[in-house]
Amino acid sequence: MHDPRVLLDPATDAVRRLARRGYHLDLAQLEKLLGGRNAAIQRGDEARAESKRIASAVKNASPEERPALVERARELKSTVAAAEEEHKTLEAELQDFLLGVPNLPADELPDGSSDDDAELVRTWGEPAQLDFAPLDHVDLGEKLGILDLPRATKLSGPRFAVLRGQGAALERAIGRFFLDLHTRRHGYTEFSVPTLVTRATMTGTGQLPKFEQDLFRTEVADRELFLIPTAEVPLTNLHARETLPLTELPLAYTAQTPCFRSEAGSYGRDTRGLIRLHEFSKVELVRIVDAERSREELEILLGHAEAVLQELGLAYRVVKLAAGDIGFSAEFTYDIEVWLPSQGRYREISSVSDFGTFQARRAGIRTRAKDGSRGFAATLNGSGLPVGRTLVAILEQGQQADGSVRIPEALVPYTGFDVLHPEQ
């Protein structure tokens, strides 16, 4: 969320910057709401000050003067009440307005609003040159006997998955490997967090109010809770409404959780198989940092996500997203895209984003320097990685001509096997 005064400051250039992501900022409406709220506050303060003077005057007033003063005191009481009510109404309208304004994209992001507008940063690994027609992960999984989509549909409807046998073991191994890498090598603290959270928690990281239609919501005994779309939500909000000493930053947190997304509006090829499910497992990385170091910290976070793919030997590339293609809360985003032989192209496996102070303002995550000065933290997050999409890449990049799949060496200690063989 933004400080409205910053948005109104011409130096911020908010209208131009937000237009790069396709958002029109109504400065006139913002100024009207802010000005009206401030005027209501001032009227209330002035009426309270006069009311105090009248109260003192009443004590020393003559019998002839007292009735007029008492009447004036009643008028001022009504004025204060009206000003407070107007302030409350305009404050709510201002907050609703600000909650709908996305973050300002960084100027160094390229223009555009689609994958085609992303800027290539680097590639790692060479996509394998297969001398046979590659299968996609669904066909591979079914031939290997590890993926059962029809029974998942029977249980829950479309866009759910059932993994069996070595497939379930591989899924479990991937998550354990991710967590061990990030906690032992990269210094993250692992958490086990709730997957049901409050509306305030969802609002803190920017999922609400804008993306309510993309969330799974439950209400039991008049208690409203939302299923998390990513562990970013509970991990970031662990410090909601807290003040953190700058000397304790950065904080680096990770968790593996199920994630739930309605994926409203998605269609086509990605709805087949494991790439775009309603429920999936993901290891998330969150960093809470000094706002002055957020971009440097983003590069660190990106390196941690890349290290996973490098350890697994999976070819990938890093791109800088266009200003019109970044998420609502982000000001800068890198996508990591892994090579999928069946599609002959790179596909997103992780987004790594710098939110600046945007989420911290919404969630109330403040900082305190040694000299006592206060500010807001910067928050960053990235997938490190989604288990299902990583499994997709392992199956496709590791497939052999005989239908078997080689497992990355780094996972063998976790799986106990190094090759998946087709069912006979």
Binding-site sequence positions = 230-232, 261-263, 284, 348-351, 381, 383
CA distance 207 to 205: 6
Cβ-based neighbours of 408, under 8 Å, separated by 6 or more: 311, 312, 313, 314, 394, 398
The residues near 89 (Cβ < 8 Å, ≥ 6 apart) are: none
Q: Which amino acid is at 340?
A: L
Count other Cβ atoms within 10 Å, centred on residue 134. Answer: 17
Active site residue 368: no
* Strand 251-260, strand 223-227: pairing: unpaired
Q: Catalytic pick from 351, 353, 362, 396?
A: 351
Of 276, 287, 317, 361, which is the active-site residue? Answer: 276
Measured distance CA(180)–CA(162) in Å, rounded: 25
Residue ranges of the binding site for ATP: 261-263, 348-351
Helix (H, G, I), strand (E, B) or coil at 78: helix
Rg (alpha carbons) of the chain, rounded to whole number: 27
Q: Is 348 a catalytic residue?
A: yes
Q: Are 297 and 289 in contact (CB under 8 A)?
A: yes
Q: Is 276 a catalytic residue?
A: yes
Residue of 287, 347, 362, 389 marked catalytic: 389
**Active site includes 389?**
yes
Q: Which of 20, 21, 37, 261 is labelled catalytic? A: 261
Amino acid symbol at 188: Y
**Ramachandran angles phi, psi of 244, nearest 5°:** -110, 130
Surface-to-core class of residue 372, CB atoms within 10 Å of its CB (0-12 exposed, 13-18 middle, 19+ buried) = exposed
Annotated binding-site members for L-serine: 230-232, 261, 284, 381, 383
H or E segment at 200?
A: helix 199-205
Q: Is 261 a catalytic residue?
A: yes
Kind of pairing between the strands at 189-190 and 332-340: unpaired
| Burial state string for 176-199 with b = 16 or more CB within 10 A and e = fewer than 16 | bbbbebbeeebebeebebebbbee
State the Cα torsion 287-288-293-298 to the nearest 10°.
Answer: 20
Amino acid 177 reads F
Q: Which of 348, 368, 404, 406 is catalytic?
A: 348
Task: Render 45-65 in DSSP notation, one character per residue.
Answer: HHHHHHHHHHHHHHHH--TTT
Burial-class residue 206 by CB neighbours within 10 Å (0-12, 13-18, 19+): buried
Under 8 Å CB-to-CB from 240, ≥6 apart: which residues? 200, 201, 204, 363, 364, 365
Q: Are the beta carbons of 325 and 20 closer than 8 angstroms?
A: no
The residues carrying an active-site annotation are 261, 276, 348, 351, 389
